[in-house]
Each structure stands twice: as C-alpha cells, then as structure tokens.
Structure 1
Amino acid sequence: MELAIISDTHLPRGARVLPEACVARLRAADLILHAGDLMRAEVLDALEALGPPVAAVHGNVDDAGVLARLPERRVVAAGGARIGMVHDAGPAAGRLERLRRAFGDCDAVVFGHSHIPLHETSADGAFQIFNPGSPTDRRRQPQHTMGTATVDGGPPAFTLIALG
C-alpha cells in the first residue's frame, strides 16, 4: 500500500497552490494522509476529489468547516500497520517517547505543525514518527516537502520528498 503524506498546506492563501509533483503523488497513492492546517473545508473537498481516500486531522488554523469534519487525533489502519495522526506533537524534547505513549498501539505517528520535516525511529526500531514538512509553506526550510510511505504487512517505510 502506497501512502502520500502532506501537512500544513495553508490553502487558500494568495497564489499558493499544491505543486504539480505533489498532486501527481497524491493521485497515485492508495491513501492520502493530511496532518492538519488545511485551513478551509474546500481544501479537504479538493483532496478527496483527487481519487484516493483521505485520512486527515484538523490543525490549529483550520476553520469551523474543517473542525466539524476532522478529529484532533486519529488512528489509520493501512497495509497491516497502525498509524496515529495528530497535528501538533508538542515540543521537540521527548517527542518520540511522548507520541509512543499517546499512541501506544501504533507503529508510527504522522504529525505536522512545525513545517520542519522529521523522521525518527525509536532505539528498539519498533516505533517511528514522521513530519512531512509542507508542500506549500516551507517557512525557514530550504525546500517544500511532502512524504510517502510504503506499507506491506510491516511497519511503514517513510520517504521524504523534496518538491523544490
């Protein structure tokens, strides 16, 4: 199973749009994960119109339409793995263990909020956290990014994708 993972799209805002390379990966995925800060319900509608199912959580800047449709946290079953989702994973210090406790039955947690791409694996290799960065709002990062994951009966294999 192929997952396309995005967060912090912050749309609509000015002339900002999802990069075509991002849209192509979203369309080709078996499942789209969005870790919050869509901003408007029509952004969720547009993602759902791409074809694959969408699993998402709301973020801290999402409007009432998004808040009404999406939970703050969720767990997604995908290809034999359990993936937790939350927008704001809190401070960097102790994040991996904090998320492991909060999502104890999961193999991994996908989160957003910071716009800083991150992939960490626990010392025992049994748990991962992944932040795909942002495809539209890189802030202080050198590139716009998104993520993918392949899940085939085991833990997710995450990849960070630079979009330029």
Structure 2
Amino acid sequence: MRLAIISDTHLPRGDRALPEACVARLRAADLILHAGDFVELPVLEMLEALGPPVAAVHGNVDRPDVVSRLPERRIVTLPEGGVRIGMVHDAGPARGRLERQRAAFGDCAAVVFGHSHIPLHETSSDGAFQLFNPGSPTDRRRQPRHTMGEATVTADGRIAFALVDLD
C-alpha cells in the first residue's frame, strides 16, 4: 500500500497551489493523509476528488466548516497487517515529542503530524515507533524546499516513510 502524506497546505492564498508533482503523487496513492491546516473546505473537497480516499485531521487555522468535518486526532487502521497510524496536527514541542506521541497513540506504529512546516522522520530507539512530519508542499516558511511525504506499507505491516522534495 502506498500513502501520500501532506500537511499545512494553507490554501487558498494568492496564486499559491499544490505543485503538479505533489498532485501526481496524491493521485497515484492508495490513501492520502493530510495532517491539518487546509484553511478552507474546498481544499479538502479538491483532495477528495483526486480519487484515493483521504484521511485527515483539522489544524489550528482551519475554518469552522473544516473543523466540523474533521477530528482533532484520529487513528487510521490499514489493511496491511492491521498497522495503525495516528494523526494529529500539532504534536507539541520538539523536546520529548516522540515519547509523548507514542504514549498518546498507544498501539500505533507511527504518528503523522504537521504544524511546524519542518519535515521530520524520527524512529524510536527500539525501532517499533515512527514519527513523521511531511513539511508543506505550499508554505515552506524557513525550510529550503517545499516537501511532502510518502510511505509504503508492506503486507506484514512494516512502514517505510520517505520525504519528497518538490522543488
């Protein structure tokens, strides 16, 4: 199973749009994960129209109609090995983040989050838990590139995350 992972799209804003390379990867995925900060409901609807199912959470700048459609946090259970991925927009301060999210999402193999716009892939010392932030495909802030993420989930439930540079 192939996952396409984005966060912090912050659309619409001026002439900003999802890069074509991002849209192509979203369309080719089996499941799209969005870790919040769509801003407006038509952005969610546009993602849903691409084809693959969308699992998402709301972010701190999302309009009320987005917030009413999406949870603050969620757990997605994938058919591949029953692997569970937690999702939240703001995973809190960097210090102790991995341990906090592992405790908050119990039996999840990974947590996907956004908010910081800083791409991150961190694995626990025992290798049993991963934390992943795809950065942003549209609002890189102080980061050198626009980014998104992908993950491959194998039949036995292993998850391999990868950051994708879009510039």
Q: Report TM bin, short chain.
A: over 0.9
Correspondences of 1:6-85 after superposition (within 5 Å): 6-78=6-78, 79-80=80-81, 81-85=83-87
> For the residues of structure 2 that align with 1:118 and 1:21, how far apart are their CA atoms?
20
> For the residues of structure 1 that align with 2:159 and 2:74, how far apart are their CA atoms?
17
> For the residues of structure 2 that align with 1:109 and 1:129, how far apart are their CA atoms?
5
SS in 2 for 1:130: strand
Match of 1:133 in 2: 135
Letter in 2 for 1:117: P
- Aligned residue pairs: how many? 164
Residue 155 of structure 1 pairs with residue 163 of structure 2: no
Runs of 5+ consecutive residues of structure 1 not aligned to the other structure:
none
> For the residues of structure 1 that align with 2:77 and 2:47, how far apart are their CA atoms?
19
Deviation of 1:154 after TM superposition, in Å, equals 1.9
> For the residues of structure 1 that align with 2:104 and 2:133, how far apart are their CA atoms?
16
> For the residues of structure 2 that align with 1:67 and 1:155, how far apart are their CA atoms?
31
- The alignment's TM-score, normalised by the length of structure 2, stands at 0.97
Cα deviations by residue, 1:133-161 (Å, 9 ceiling, x for unpaired): 00000000000000000001223100000
- The alignment's TM-score, normalised by the length of structure 1, stands at 0.99
> For the residues of structure 1 that align with 2:43 and 2:26, how far apart are their CA atoms?
13
CA RMSD of aligned residues (A): 0.5
Runs of 5+ consecutive residues of structure 2 not aligned to the other structure:
none
Percentage of matched positions with identical amino acids: 78
